[in-house]
A and B are shown apart, each in its own frame.
Chain A
Amino acid sequence: MEIILAIVIGVLYAAGVYLLLRRSIVKLILGLIFFSHATNLLVFLAGSLSKVSPPFVQEGQKVAQSTVADPLPQALVLTSLVIGFGITAFALVLIYRFYQSSGTVDFDQLKED
């Protein structure tokens, strides 16, 4: 499972960088989205995957009976997903306004003035 996730992360990063380097500003945003999801998956994977029980403690006990998964990477990913989503929404609005005011989505067209 980890190896598949690792490959997915690599592909996402590669696609993200490729799109970031395009001239079109729409692809730039797509690239940022890929980039941010690759990073989220990376954080998730860095916490290591294992088939253990969820981190709950049974009623009336102080510690969990079996080995539990580490909940922290999930919490981190949850936070960063929310932040990334917010920024992506902002970026989308930004390119829309940018398109409205400049009439182009091509970076090379901007150099004229």
Chain B
Amino acid sequence: MENLLMLPLVLPVLAAIVSLFAKNSLNFRKASGVFFTLMQLVVAVVILVKVYRDGILVLHVGSWPAPFGIMLVADMFSAIMLFFAGLIGFTVSVYALGLMDERRLKFHFYLLFNILLLGVNGAFITGDVFNLYVWFEVMLIASFVLITLGGERKQLEGAVKYVTINMVSSMLFLAAAGLLYGKMGTLNMADLAMKLQNDPSSNLVASSAMLFFIAFGIKAAVFPFFFWLPASYHTPPVAVTALFAGLLTKVGVYAMIRFFTLFFIPLGGIWKELFLITGGLTMLIGVFTAASQYDIRRILSFHIISQIGYMIMGLGFFTPLGIAGAIYYMGHNIVAKTNTFMVGGMVSKLKGTFELKSIGGLYKTKPYLALLFIIPAFALAGVPPLSGFFGKFILVKAGFDSHHFFVTGISLFVGLITLFSMIKIWNEGFWKKQPEEVEEVVNYTEKKVGFALIFPSVVLGLFSIGMGVAVGFFFDFCMTAAQQLLEPSAYINAVLGK
């Protein structure tokens, strides 16, 4: 049954191979792209249920014993993240059918898309620090090509920044892993956790921990390291941006939560303060810069940053409720963020631009689109009964319980500004009249939004509502995950087999 864990890795590879060999039939490639991502979603659900019922799943690849061989581990946290990766993979692959132009599809969009999912899935279920690096690279190389796919000048400019900063962060990650190996003699996460627990000189690994923090911080776009994200995320087509916005930054947050709950705990108090400070600053700076923008994609890109702050803050509380809140918030954010980008893509398909000043009157002509936008936007802002409200509620409760009033206050304030900038998009894009002089300039004829665009947005919108209405159901999963994270002995025992 443990072999089930191979499937999230095998399916994307299969999809990539099929897509590579079916080069003459674009329709077949499209169909297989959607089919395989749907299969991944199904497999992820099966893994989630199985882990929830039976506890941590471990697969020793090639039957090599624990600290030596490569292993795949799925605890609750990994399983939840796998599920969201599957959900986003499926919806975005449907969405791409309607939005991606023929040329990009022919240049193997679905192949790269599946390789990216392979990297993301691998990063979520690996049990080894160096393998995590490799999966990060798999994911990054696919994302490099996706961000340049099409080769427009703007894309190339964005890609140069994106490639450079991600390469630097990978190098820091690798250096950190190397130093950690030099000090501890192992890179297996469970083995590291066990050794560091009993090691009085574990302060020596603080340098590695800091390098890991910077490397993951760059990938997750937290406060001092976020500038590359708004500089590059708005350049590729929206389907790509939606995928990146939903998944890529969250992989950095995932790695951070995993590392700093599993084996960097003995490092003591200063880390929690560091997380709280970076979390607070990330929220504030992200939301303020978002509020000053007028391009839909730029507003949403800056919002990615501010939302990451909430998760880092939840990690900084370091209570079960705080971590559970961070995980719930991550799930909510993956869904809502991707969805806002999808609606943004539909708006631009109708109006031919992302610039809010030349858009308007969408509520009158396309009322359903306004509804599709309002769900994820209000979810992000935290309006009950949508998912964001409960995400924030759990985090705020955790903050008050652990007496971190200041940073919790900041998070509430940031929620208000988020609401402000979402209402700004609403006002400018949907509510006000179409500016007349602009309409002549734009002269855009494409007035249809196909089913392939609406369907994924509806699915994600319903999911946002579902996460809010059935909050107890989802929170149960997150709480189990948080308890597993804060009690690493179960993880260690499952992996090392003691």
Contact = CB atoms under 8 A, between A and B. Distances in A.
A48 B182 contact: yes
Contacts of B140: 87
B433 to A, nearest CB: 30
Contacts of B152: 101
Contacts of A80: 133, 174
A76 B170 CA distance: 14
Contact of A46 (B144, B145, B178): B178
Interface in B104-158: 130, 133-134, 137, 140-141, 144-145, 148, 151-153, 156-157
B168 interface: yes
Interface in B142-194: 144-145, 148, 151-153, 156-157, 159-160, 163-164, 167-168, 170-171, 174-175, 177-179, 181-182, 187
A32 B174 contact: no
B141 A90 contact: yes
Contacts of B130: 76, 79
Contact of A39 (B148, B171, B181): B171
A98 B133 contact: no
Given A42-B179, A80-B133, A86-B141, A94 B157 contact: no
Contacts, number: 89
A83 B133 CA distance: 10
| Range class of the A interface residue count | 20 to 34
Main secondary structure of the interface of A (DSSP, over half): helix
A83 B134 CA distance: 8
Contact of A72 (B133, B151, B179, B181): B181
7 contacts: A36-B167, A39-B178, A48-B182, A76-B181, A83-B134, A95-B160, A101-B152
Interface of B: 130, 133-134, 137, 140-141, 144-145, 148, 151-153, 156-157, 159-160, 163-164, 167-168, 170-171, 174-175, 177-179, 181-182, 187
Interface of A: 20, 25, 28, 32, 35-36, 38-40, 42-48, 72-73, 76, 79-80, 83, 86-87, 90-91, 94-95, 97-98, 101-102, 110
Given A43-B175, A79-B130, A101-B151, 20 more contacts: A28-B164, A32-B168, A35-B171, A36-B171, A39-B175, A39-B178, A42-B175, A42-B179, A43-B177, A46-B179, A72-B181, A73-B181, A76-B130, A80-B174, A83-B137, A86-B141, A87-B170, A90-B141, A95-B160, A97-B151
